[in-house]
Homo-oligomer: A and B are copies of this chain.
């Protein structure tokens, strides 16, 4: 597999850990909500609670971005919104295409959190000729035949795949060949892509299976005998899910 060693030890100022990157959108959402309520500053403790993490982690995360807080006071909400947006690349416009306009594709097209965050749905694409021209979420659906042209005309670099599993790899290949370098995959299949292309996947059934794993564990461990009624919100001691390994609800009513 030739080529350079593992790139990116890059301990430059630009070395933001992946785990931190994955949490920035969470902070951003919490901050946006505060901003809308015109809250001027927020402490790491408050913001952490709103984002569902603990404050040490949040401070550490922010320390990778720079020193944007004020000791004894907290963080300036507006300023932090801007800094995180910039870090995430949301100060620019990202045209995206959604391929596969079934229920899921339609749900995505209708999803509001889109436009408000620097993303713009440049086109909806489906293989069914019967759908062509019909508007979904106010955007006319276009046929797969035009995929390459759409990508190029709009300078799209992010594609969302919401097709059935069987079509996903092929769609992916076409997107990549046309110039897309980031893909969000909702189809339950592993995509293979060339180096330099990012793929993230969202998979409902995997999430459910992980829940089932923990659920099973809860049922198996410590269940006190009999007790026909459901324990519902009874605060369980040591919490069964915490057992195997972390997966701790970081959010606590506390």
Q: Which residues of A contact B (CB under 8 A)?
A: 2-8, 14-19, 21-22, 24-26, 28-30, 50-52, 87-90, 92, 94, 96, 102-104, 106-108, 110-111, 113-114, 117-119, 152, 157-158, 160, 176-179, 181-184, 188, 190-218, 221, 230-254
| Chain B hits for A251, CB < 8 A | 190-193, 199, 202, 207, 254
Which of B107, B114, B198 interacts with A239 by CB under 8 Å?
B198
Cα of A117 to Cα of B113 in the assembled complex, Å: 31
Min CB gap A202→B, angstroms: 6
| Chain B hits for A14, CB < 8 A | 217, 221, 244
On whether A245 and B209 interact (CB within 8 A), knowing A196-B234, A233-B177, the answer reads no
> Which residue of chain B lies nearest to A179 when distances are taken between CB atoms in the complex?
B230
Q: Are B22 and A252 neighbours in the complex by a CB distance under 8 Å?
A: yes
The 8 closest A-B pairs by CB, nearest first: A89-B216, A103-B107, A179-B230, A113-B205, A104-B107, A196-B236, A52-B190, A190-B243
Q: Are A209 and B248 neighbours in the complex by a CB distance under 8 Å?
A: no
What 8 new A-B contacts, CB under 8 Å, besides A6-B238, A25-B203, A198-B211? Answer: A8-B243, A21-B245, A25-B205, A103-B110, A152-B230, A177-B233, A196-B235, A250-B254
Which of B2, B108, B179, B249 interacts with A199 by CB under 8 Å?
B249
Cα of A94 to Cα of B88 in the assembled complex, Å: 38
Q: Are B215 and A25 neighbours in the complex by a CB distance under 8 Å?
A: no
